[in-house]
Each structure stands twice: as structure tokens, then as C-alpha cells.
Structure 1
Amino acid sequence: MTIAVFKRLAAVAGAGLLATTLAASAQPTQKPATSDLPPVLAKAVKNGSLTVDRQFKTDVPGVTGYVLEKDGQHQIVYGDHGYLFMGQLVSPEGKNMSAQYTDKYVPKPDVGKVVDQLKKTGHLVQQGPDDAPVIYVFADPNCIYCHRFYQQAESLVKAGKLQLQWALVGFLKSSSMGRAAAILSAKDPVKALVENENGFNEDSEEGGIKPVASPSAKLKHVINRHYKQMSSAGGNGTPTLLYKQDGHWAAKIGAPGKAWLKNYIDHQS
């Protein structure tokens, strides 16, 4: 799920921008004054909805790029004469300029740092043996794609070939926080997680465990912290997977499938 304030900006600003001419290369970045921003963006900054990390000149004359940040997530938008544009910036040759700008200007998430935080803060639900290749999973109890990932990984976990460390979040539905709290507060969180997945209703996209009516402030803090950690790792939806790749931690969004999981296990052995 993308950040709500980005969606609101999209509704105000329009669907996107198709570039028709190219000019000089993009210039060095700088953090803009609020008075220099397009009005819609300036308003969002003033009310604390988001921050603008930097601005840069694009290859399109007169069009300025802005790197927005909210809860650790970043997005590039474009401004021209007070107007704000969102979407991909595409050259006449069909080149995705936005991808180039993202690679150049958007900070890369420190996934390894997030993994270290998860190890220290606890409140994870572990499935699988300690010595198996591990994946950290940010998941919402009402997320159907998390449910599909659970199904994809289930046989590998039961066979002792994969370890999952579930970091529960709760933002998709009004019952998400209560279900995440129900799992974390259970006497046996693993059993509660399995109950939620075995009873998952795919038609309504609802988990199978009964939500806690009033989660404690402590549990809500834990679950909200998981969400912020997911965002810091570059995750903007669930499931977000943190996994080892060539000796470094990386992030992947979505259910990757059994073939990917088996390949991951083979490369960790």
C-alpha cells in the first residue's frame, strides 16, 4: 500500500507528465525553501504531512523534480509554473527518466540496519529452525498476498529448510491492528499465526483469528514500529521480505513464488 498523502497529492496534481523535449543534464540537488515549492506541495510541507528532501533540475526545460519523504518512504514528483505532476517522466524515445532520477536522487534504504533493529527489538513470530536460511516478513493479518506467501513457504518451513521471522503490521483494514495484536499477545504466537492463515477468508480478505477489541498501547507501539521499519527498508506494501543476497540484505515486495524460495534456500546453503 502506498502512503496515503502521496495518493492525496496524486488526486490534486493529476496522473503524470509526458516529456516532449530534452535539454541539459540534471543539476546537483538542493533542499528547497517552502516558498519555492508548488502550492499544493508547500501546503503539505507546512502542515507536516511530508517533507521535501531535495529538488533537482530535470532534463525537461522548466520542470523541477522534488524528492518527497514520509515515514521513511520516498517518491519523486515534478513541478512546473506552480503545477505539480506525478507519475513517470518519459522521453520522446520512450526512456523512463523517472527511473534514472530515482536511482540518482532517492536515498537507498539500509536494509541491514532494519534487520539489526528487528533482531534487537524482538516481538517477531518465528517459524522454522534456527539454522535454516532466514527471511524477515512484514505482514498484515488481512493481507491476501501475505497469505499466499504463507502458503508458498509452508512446506519448506515444515521441512526445516526455511526460517521465517514474521514482523506484524496492521494498516490494511480496521481489524488489522486487532488481529496483529491477537497473534502477538497469544500464549503461543506461532499457533495463533497458523490459526489466522488456516482460517483466512480469501473472498473477504480477512484473517481467521478473532481481533483483540482494544489492543494495549504497548502492542500498538510494537505494531506501528514494525510499519516504520518496513518503510525504512523500502517497503510500501505487504508482504515485504528482507533476505540475504550476495552477502547483503535486500528487500522484495510481494509473494515471490515457490521457485524463488527454493532458489533462495539453495543459494544460502
Structure 2
Amino acid sequence: MRIPIYLSLALGIFASPLVLAEELPDAVKQIEAKGAKIVGSFDAPNGLKGYAAQFQNRGVALYLTPDGKHVLVGSLFDQQGRDLSEKPLEQLVYAPMAKEVWAKMEKTAWIADGKADAPRIVYLFSDPNCPYCNMFWEQARPWVESGKVQLRHIMVGIIREDSPAKSASLLASKDPQKALHDHESAGKASTLKALEKIPAQVQAKLDANLALMNELGLSATPAIFYLDDQQRLQQQQGAPRPELLGKILGKR
């Protein structure tokens, strides 16, 4: 089952107002005044004009009637039952948002698990005290060890009182990749110690990671992000069921 990223992200965070050559019609402005952000326009049949908008955590299609006085909100289907709103919303709303989210994650303080030249990258927000993060780490071993996937752990500290200091310990390590591997491979027997005092530069990294997690509307770890076969950004919350591993990590 595909889990669209746009079902769980606060789209308004990433939206930028559309700059149109002509002013928006008054009927469309009324929808905008209710909180929608118009991000693009597209062709529609029978004299209608389509607008792509972001509203309450999802993409919405607007259809302006030929007289310019009324707006229909929702999906438009043709006589074959095809949703004519799906493609424009994917192109104008979800695809740009996905690229921006991916770029934001690339800039976080993450710890690599796997080869740098692995053909597939998977990000996850990870807490050192999270048993489900450890479960996913174990699940991913065949893909990581074969060089097919690199996991990028965006370290946060939200589960226990010592979680931030443990994440800081990993980030501040001389070899963060080895420190993470030692911690995860040990499981419950891990001897990872929390830092007594977190250096300011490490604290700044943790703060930035947590800020992005909050922006994305996430409240638990692991929160896993990956690109599907169509290069669309997808999310998995929690350790995935075995049958989903192939979608997230690719073919073994």
C-alpha cells in the first residue's frame, strides 16, 4: 500500500504563493481568503479553469466556471472514471513539496549507515532509545550490507530524558558511523553513554533536526522517508511490516 507523503505533512509549511501573470478571479480569491494557497493553474474541460491549491494538509483542485463567478472544489472525473485532478495536483503541489522536503533532510545532521555510493537513500528520524528504530536497523541489514541502501539517521532525542544526550554522544563521536553501528548492533545491551554536557554546536544540530521533525508534523520515531519507483516521496511511520521492506529499500 502506497502511503502518500502529502497525507501526513503540513503542506502550508512548504508552500509559496503563486505569482500569476493575471490577477486571480474574485471567486478564487474567496477560497484563498479561507486559508487556501493557490500554487498553480491548469487546463480543464468544458470552459472550466483549474487551480491547484494547498489547504488543511492536502492538495485541493479548484475549478472556475466559465462565467468566472463560481468555483467548484474537489475532484473532477471524466466519463471513463479517471480523476482529472490527480495529475495536476501531483505536478503542482506534491512533487515540488517532496523535492523541498528531501532537500531539507539532506541538510540535517544525519549519521550514515551504509556505503556512500549506495544507489538508494533512505532517511529516518531516529532516537537512540527507540526500539522500533533498532528493529528497522535490523530489518535493513541485508540491503545495507550488500551496498544497495544507505540509511541516514537524523538524530533526535524525544523518547527518554537522556535521549538528547545520547544522540549528542553519537553526533560528537570521532567516528559517528561506527558509534551508531556499535549502538544498534548491541540492541538492549548497548553501552552508549549520554554526554554530561552537550557542546553548543552539537545542541544546535539536535535543535535543527527536531525543528524539521516538528515542521513535518511528526511525533514518533522512526519516521522513514524514501523515494518510490516513480521518484515520489513516501513516508513510513514506525518499523515497517516485512512485506513493505521491498517498497522502502528496493529489491534485494
In the other structure, the counterpart of 2:113 is: 127
Q: Cα deviations across residues 126-181 of structure 1 (Å, max 9, x unaligned)?
A: 11222321100110110111111111112221111211111100111111011101
Is 1:153 aligned to 2:153, yes or no?
Answer: no
Query: How many Å apart are 1:28 and its aligned residue?
Result: 6.2
The runs of 5 or more residues in structure 2 that have no matched partner are 1-29, 37-54, 59-92
The residue type paired with residue 154 of structure 1 is: R
The runs of 5 or more residues in structure 1 that have no matched partner are 1-26, 32-52, 55-66, 75-106
Of 198, 201, 213, the residue aligned with 2:185 is 198
Counterpart secondary structure, 2:165: helix
Does the CA contact (< 8 Å) of 1:234 and 1:251 recur in 2? no
Question: TM-score, normalization: structure 1?
Answer: 0.54
The residue type paired with residue 146 of structure 1 is: C
Of 91, 97, 102, the residue aligned with 1:115 is 102
Counterpart secondary structure, 1:212: coil
Does the CA contact (< 8 Å) of 1:114 and 1:229 recur in 2? no
Of 124, 129, 139, the residue aligned with 1:142 is 129
Q: What is the distance in 2 between the residues matched to 1:111 and 1:144?
A: 28
Of 221, 238, 248, the residue aligned with 1:254 is 238
Q: What is the distance in 2 between the residues matched to 1:266 and 1:222?
A: 30
Identity of aligned residues (%): 27
In the other structure, the counterpart of 1:176 is: 163
When the two chains are superposed, the root-mean-square deviation of aligned CA atoms in Å is: 3.1
In the other structure, the counterpart of 1:224 is: 207
Q: What is the distance in 1 between the residues matched to 2:216 and 2:120?
A: 19
- Count of residues in correspondence between the two structures: 168
In the other structure, the counterpart of 2:176 is: 189
Counterpart secondary structure, 1:138: strand
In the other structure, the counterpart of 2:194 is: 211
In the other structure, the counterpart of 2:89 is: none
The residue type paired with residue 221 of structure 1 is: A
In the other structure, the counterpart of 1:88 is: none
Counterpart secondary structure, 1:126: strand
Question: TM-score, normalization: structure 2?
Answer: 0.58
Q: What is the distance in 2 between the residues matched to 1:111 and 1:196?
A: 31
- 1:58-73 equivalences in 2 (<5 Å): none
The residue type paired with residue 120 of structure 2 is: P
Q: What is the distance in 2 between the residues matched to 1:152 and 1:241?
A: 13
